[in-house]
Amino acid sequence: MFALERVRVIRNYLAEHRQAEVHALSSLLAVSEVTVRRDLEKLEEDGFLVRTHGGAILAEAGAGLVPFRGEKGDNPLSDVSVQALADEVGRNAARLVSDGDTVMITCGPLTRALARSLSERRGVTVLTNDLEVARVVSLQDANRAVLLGGEVDPTDQAVYGALSLDDLQRFHVDRLFAELDGFGEDFELSSGTQEKAALIREGRARTREFVILCTADRFFRNAFFRFGVASGGDTVVTDRTIDDIVKRRLFEANLRLFISQDIFEGSA
């Protein structure tokens, strides 16, 4: 890995975790601890971090200047958090996939994060309408991607329409992972486009297990196209900014709620 890329990875890691240990970075980047220390030195000179014994912490001043994608300064910290939260949701949702499963994954930022996290699984078949999900999974050695047919939507980078719905009939999947745009107060599920709503509705009718992925700001809001109601036994995976009232309402309604805390750092 090139120095520039390493520095970017370390920046993102620190922006997300606010602190990092040399040995953790060294195994993350697959380079020696000496190399990591050199990179940290450089970042300290930039005022991005403060080095500590065995690691580094994010400098308070640097926190606002973290570029997440693209060049320095074109994205505020809020974008970093959004991406970090999405990755946490993806990793958490991936725990619901076992080796050898066949799952359907619809399109969206959270489901793409889920697809990336499937690299630790083996023998998983993913049926999807999302081009990026299909690409990511197809590159994972031990997993397989099946892309539904249909017309490619230019904004979503996903396929929709009668063709996709027809294709869906031919497969049996264990679990549906669907990303929503709205989760209403009365637990009505909704999405921003009619095509997406139709696809999720159809997918849900064909699976036993339904896993809803949505960011915490989608709760108790409705998007335009409704496609059903969450009911007891359904699973919801969301990020850790979720409100206490939502936690309570979902638990009392017998929904299984996964909050992506990603808190435990592993046994020392």
Partner 1 sequence: MRPILELSGISKRFGDGFALENIDLDLFPGEVHVVVGENGSGKSAVMKLVGGLYAPDSGELRLDGVPTSFTGVADAKSRGIMYRPQEPQLFENLSVAENLFFDQLPRGRWGGLDVLRLRSDAVALFAKLGISLDIRAGVAALGYAQRQLLEAVKTCVGTWKVVIFDEPTSAMAEPERAILFNIVRTLKKSGIGVFYVSHRLDEILRIGDRVSVVRQGRVEDTRSVDSLDRESLVHMMTGSLRTERYPRTSRVRGRVVLEVRGLRSGYVLRDVSFSVHKGEILGITGLMGSGRTRLAQCLFGAVESTAGELLLDGKPVLLKVPTDALSRGIALVPEDRSENAILHRQDLVLNVAVASLSRYKGIAGLNADFMRSLVSDYSSRLGVRPGRPSDRPDKYSGGNQQKVAIARWLARRSRIYIMDEPTRGIDVASKVDVYNAIADLVAKGASVILISSDIEEILGLCDRILVLAGGRIACDLPRAKATQELILEYATAE
Nearest to 153 by CA among 108, 111, 189: 108
Work out how close the CB of 264 gets to partner 1 at its nearest, in angstroms, rounded to a whole number.
5
Write the interaction track for partner 1 spanning residues 195-234; mark x where CB under 8 A is met and - where it is not.
-------------------------------------xx-
Q: How many residues bind partner 1 (CB under 8 A)?
A: 37
Distance (Å, whole) CA 246 – CA 259: 11
Footprint (CB under 8 A) of partner 1, residues 96-125: 96, 98
Cβ-proximal residues to 95 (8 Å cutoff; 6+ apart), any chain: 258
Write the interaction track for partner 1 spanning residues 231-250; mark x where CB under 8 A is met and - where it is not.
-xx------x-x-xx-xx-x
**Could you give the residue ranges of the DSSP H alpha helices within 95-185?**
109-117, 131-138, 162-168
Identify the residue among 53, 72, 170, 172 touching partner 1 (CB under 8 A): 53
CB distance 72 to 65 below 8 Å: yes
Cβ-proximal residues to 170 (8 Å cutoff; 6+ apart), any chain: none
Identify the residue among 70, 71, 155, 264 touching partner 1 (CB under 8 A): 264
Distance (Å, whole) CA 260 – CA 239: 5
Q: Which is nearer to partner 1, 57 or 82 (CB)?
A: 57
CB distance 184 to 221 below 8 Å: yes
Regarding 141 and contact with partner 1 (CB under 8 A), the answer is no
Q: Which is nearer to partner 1, 32 or 98 (CB)?
A: 98
CA 26: distance to chain centroid? 24
Write the interaction track for partner 1 spanning residues 9-28; mark x where CB under 8 A is met and - where it is not.
--------xxx---------
- The contact set with partner 1 (CB under 8 A) reads 17-19, 50, 52-53, 57-58, 60, 95-96, 98, 232-233, 240, 242, 244-245, 247-248, 250-252, 254-259, 261-268
